[in-house]
Amino acid sequence: MRPHDYEAIVLATMDYGESDRIVTFFTREQGKIRAIARHGKKSGKRFGAVLETFSRTGISVVVKGGLSSLRSAETVSVYPGIRANLEKIGYAGYVCEVIDRFLPEGLASPRLFRLLLTYLEYLDSFPPLADDRRFFEVNLLNILGYRLPVEQCGRCGSNFSPGTAIIRHTTAGELLCGACCRSGRPVAVGTLQLLAAALETGRFGVIRFGPESLTAAGAILDGAIAEHLTRPLNSLTFLRKVVGVCC
């Protein structure tokens, strides 16, 4: 079988046997591909940093159902600016794990690939901020078909507007009007407007939430993401405990 060339970002890696490594790539062309890298074990020199999580690479792969076979890989960027900062490593590892967990194998998503790529490029050069993580998350959910209903109640469909008396969110990240939800945490219209703006704006670094909206947006997005996953994200534990990121 002939190998095919792809542009890829490494989502996850795992040593396998004595010298091999299994790598999960997110390719622009084919979505997620799991491939075995012969003699690619972490301690080995054949592939080096090319196969580290969140590296951007050009790969040549023989694609098979199940486990593909990596023939060669060339570094495009290992994002040295991210690797020099523990908090940035935490954020980059988190977004890679989120995509790995949400995206089934073989489903191409050029928009999601572009979102991840632009986030890594941005993070490589600018300070790590929770605002940008939330910007990534709200757009990720939108691309995957789980768009937050920031304009109207998720249950009765009534429009949220500056005149809406009460908007609340549930622990599952649902956004509901006061009539449909009496026990959730209140959400300011301004927070929803910022989330809506994050969906409209295609650039990282533009949306800044402010402390209160950041906390509220974080609770909504954490709930919405957890709702779609069967078990907690390992990288989230790292972000919270090791890096000290709380929202």
178 binds Zn ion, rule: CB under 5 A: no
Residue 178 beta carbon to Zn ion: minimum distance, rounded to whole angstroms: 8
Site string for Zn ion, 136-165 (x = CB under 5 A): -----------------x-xx---------
Indicate the SS3 state at residue 161. coil
Q: Which is nearer to Zn ion, 17 or 157 (CB)?
A: 157
CB 36 within 8 A of CB 64: no
> Counting contacts by CB under 5 A, is residue 180 touching Zn ion?
yes
Q: Which is nearer to Zn ion, 177 or 194 (CB)?
A: 177
Question: In the complex with Zn ion, which residue's Cβ is closer, 180 or 217?
Answer: 180
* Alpha helices, DSSP H, located in the chain: 80-83, 86-102, 110-125, 130-143, 189-200, 211-227, 234-237
C-beta of 123 vs 177, nearer to Zn ion = 177
The 10 Å Cβ neighbour count of residue 133 is 22
Which one of 14-22, 44-52, 92-100, 173-181 is the stretch in contact with Zn ion (CB under 5 A)? 173-181
Which value, in Å, is the radius of gyration of the alpha carbons in the chain?
20
Judged by CB under 5 A, the chain residues 40 through 99 that form the site for Zn ion are none
The Cα–Cα gap between 220 and 47 comes to 40
Does position 166 bind Zn ion by CB under 5 A?
no
Cα 105 from chain centroid (whole Å): 16
- Residue closer to Zn ion by CB (options 167, 243) is 167
Assign residue 17 a region (left: φ > 0; alpha: ψ between -120 and 50; beta: otherwise). left
Applying CB under 5 A, which residues contact Zn ion?
153, 155-156, 177, 180
